[in-house]
Amino acid sequence: MKRILRNMDWWLLFAVLILMGCGLGLIDSATHSFAVSTGKSWHFSRQSTFMLIALVLAMCTLRFDYRILKNYATPFYIFNVLILIAVMLFGHTQLGAQRWIQIGGFTVQPSEFAKVFLIICLAAFMEKRIEWLEDFKDYIPVFIYIFIPFVLVLKQPDLGTSLTFMAILLGMIFVSGFKIRWFVWCTTLMVSLMPLMWKFVLKDYQKNRIRVFLNPELDPYGSGYHVIQSKIAIGSGGLFGKGWLEGTQSQLNFLPENHTDFIFAVVGEEFGFIGAAFIILMYFIIIWRGITIALNAEDDFGTLLAVGVTSMFMFHIMVNIGMTIGIMPVTGVPLPFLSYGVSSLLTNTMLIALLLNIRVSDQKLQF
């Protein structure tokens, strides 16, 4: 316990706790009209309950050394793949995608937890091969390793999570020394494969999202509606915002999905540039601490884990906020700690716990 407190990354911990607190306030605001009409603040109480559960769980995991996870990489991997297959078979459909699975009284989103498993498995898988990762062909097993869960998630279809997998992979191979020119090749290859992807891989609604991302006015009442309303919400917030519960866009329901994917628009509208900048600063602290932890990790497994976690957060933050301000296409990626969603909250808390674990397991006692 002493060791945990001594090595605790207070910056990271407080940034996360502050974000969680903000998240509760924002969910309360975003679901205010719903709560008023039903008389129950269902979202708020559910989110806060699970927040407590997640924090307790996270504290518990700190007692174990993260290095034991290495030993479970293969079972995790198999479990992960099986779960994703289960979703395909038994999952129920929501919002046009098969992402949810019923376990007991809860619906969970296995692709959220798949991110945790993937980061652990991939870190373990690469750590074993880290000395050999010299040539491009050395990376091919890594690609194959990640390809199976990637395709399974993509098939759900959950473009957001599958792209998250890519981001995690990208971060890890970048740090492990993947050559810049290989990145260029891969990018070139991807771009040249785009027309084929467009034709055979992407679903109609995904194509439409990309089209509308390029020109939201194409469909102001359909898929472009979200982005237009979100931009109006954020823009109209100005410097100081309209005040908590005072955002007309979100309170009058012009902004759909405002408690989940578009919660950042509530920040922009109700707390203005100052509030948004503060939230962005908190996220920056997470990323900064994540990379610092990666730098100071005692072993490669720790570094790779930290990089994977940081990459995932970075991807979520950029894609989600970018989406609300119209510089990224609409993908179903939640904003960590702010968006309503129990699965995502548990996942993110576990990942932060993982980062803290790497930090507190540090025997060198630096910084």
Contact range with other proteins by CB under 8 A, out of 43-51, 251-259, 340-348, 349-357: 251-259
Contact map string, positions 152 to 171, toward other proteins, x by CB under 8 A = -------------------x
How many residues comprise the chain?
A: 367
* Residue number, 21 or 222, with CB nearest to other proteins: 222
Question: Does 138 participate in binding other proteins (rule CB under 8 A)?
Answer: no
Stretch that binds other proteins, among 208-216, 317-325, 338-346, 359-367 (CB under 8 A): 317-325
Q: Both ends of the chain: CA-CA distance in Å?
A: 18
Residue 356 has which token pair? Answer: 């803290």
Q: For the range 133-136, what are the long-range contacts, defined as Cβ-Cβ under 8 Å and sequence gap of 24 or more?
A: 133/176, 133/177, 133/178, 136/179, 136/182
Interface residue with other proteins among 204, 252, 363, 364 (CB under 8 A) is: 252
Stretch that binds other proteins, among 55-63, 156-164, 191-199, 252-260 (CB under 8 A): 252-260
Q: How far is the CB of 318 from other proteins (least distance, A)?
A: 6
CB of 217 to other proteins, least distance (A): 11
Determine contact, residues 136/85, Cβ cutoff 8 Å: no
For residue 291, state whether it binds other proteins (rule: CB under 8 A).
yes
C-beta separation of 122 from 142 below 8 A: yes
How many residues lie near other proteins (CB under 8 A)? Answer: 48
Does residue number 126 form part of the binding site for other proteins (CB under 8 A)? no
Alpha helix positions (H), the chain: 2-7, 10-30, 32-38, 42-61, 73-90, 110-129, 140-155, 159-175, 180-196, 204-214, 223-237, 248-251, 263-296, 300-324, 342-360
* Strand-pair partners of 102: 107
> Is residue 295 at the binding interface for other proteins, with CB under 8 A as the rule?
yes
- Identify the H or E element spanning 137: none
Q: Is 248 in the site for other proteins (CB under 8 A)?
A: yes
Spatial CA neighbour of 316 closest among 292, 332, 334, 304:
334
Q: Is 342 in the site for other proteins (CB under 8 A)?
A: no
Please report how close the Cβ of residue 181 comes to other proteins at its closest, in angstroms.
Answer: 15
Q: Would you state the structure tokens that stand for residue 8, as one six-digit string?
A: 């605790």
- Give, in degrees to the nearest 5, the angle at Cα 57 between 35 and 48: 10
Which residues sit at the interface with other proteins, rule CB under 8 A?
Answer: 33, 130, 171, 174-177, 221, 229, 231-239, 248-249, 252-254, 268-269, 272-273, 276-277, 280, 283-284, 287-288, 291, 294-295, 299-300, 303, 307, 310, 314, 318, 321-322, 325, 327
